[in-house]
């Protein structure tokens, strides 16, 4: 069978994204969505959802599900817990992903019931994703909670 690859691309003038509804992904928290990491062996990725409650979230690595969270916390898989940030009305998943041997790139995707975002880690190439420069003057500097997960492959 053929392998389907999924990427997310957003067109957001001045890095202004639509306001997410409760349970939807906050795209800005995951930028850059394509990361050039030549020479690195791990990378921190943040995924966030609007609100402090949700029905379901699922994390994929290269289109294979690796974790699920149900109803604000029940965790299936080995990815750790989500962090509920009531002050900023969001739920955060903050993880450090390690390079898998012999992989040139890996794509992680967080999917909720109605939205998803993917972050591709390109372990071989050097560069800068276009949104880094485009969004540099428009960053959202909300606090990110320090919870991290060292996810084993």
64 within domain boundaries: yes
Question: Is residue 89 a contact partner of residue 82, using CB atoms and an 8 Å limit?
Answer: no
What share of the chain in percent tops pLDDT 90? 57
76 within domain boundaries: yes
9 within domain boundaries: no
Cα 60 to Cα 63: distance, rounded to the nearest angstrom: 5
14 within domain boundaries: no
58 within domain boundaries: yes
Name residues whose C-beta falls within 8 Å of residue 115's C-beta, 6 or more positions apart in sequence. 20, 23, 24, 25
The 3-state secondary structure of 15-63, one letter per residue: HCCCCCCCCCECHHHHCCCEEECCCCCEEEEEEEEECCCCCEEEEEECC
Q: What is the CATH number of the domain that holds 58?
A: 2.60.40.10
pLDDT greater at residue 20 or residue 151: 20
81 within domain boundaries: yes
Tokens representing 10? 């957003």
How do residues 32-89 score in pLDDT, each as one tens digit? 999 999 999 999 999 999 999 888 999 999 999 999 998 756 677 788 888 999 999 9
101 within domain boundaries: yes
Q: Tell me, what's the pLDDT at 44?
A: 97
Q: Tell me, what's the pLDDT at 71?
A: 79
Q: How many structural domains is the chain composed of? A: 1
**What is the residue range of 36's domain?**
19-151
């Amino acid at each position: 069978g053929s392998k389907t690859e999924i990427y997310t691309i957003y067109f957001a003038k001045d890095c202004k994204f639509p306001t997410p509804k409760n349970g939807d992904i906050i795209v800005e928290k995951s930028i850059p969505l394509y990361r050039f990491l030549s020479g690195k062996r791990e990378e921190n990725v943040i995924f966030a959802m609007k609100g402090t409650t949700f029905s379901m979230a699922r994390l994929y690595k290269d289109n294979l599900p690796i974790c699920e969270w149900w109803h604000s916390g029940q965790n299936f898989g080995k990815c750790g817990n989500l962090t509920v940030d009531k002050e900023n009305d969001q739920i955060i998943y903050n993880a450090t992903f390690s390079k898998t041997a012999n992989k040139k790139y890996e794509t992680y995707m967080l999917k909720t019931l109605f939205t998803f975002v993917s972050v591709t880690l390109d372990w071989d190439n050097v560069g800068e994703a276009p949104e880094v420069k485009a969004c540099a003057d428009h960053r959202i500097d909300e606090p990110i909670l320090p919870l991290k997960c060292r996810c084993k492959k």
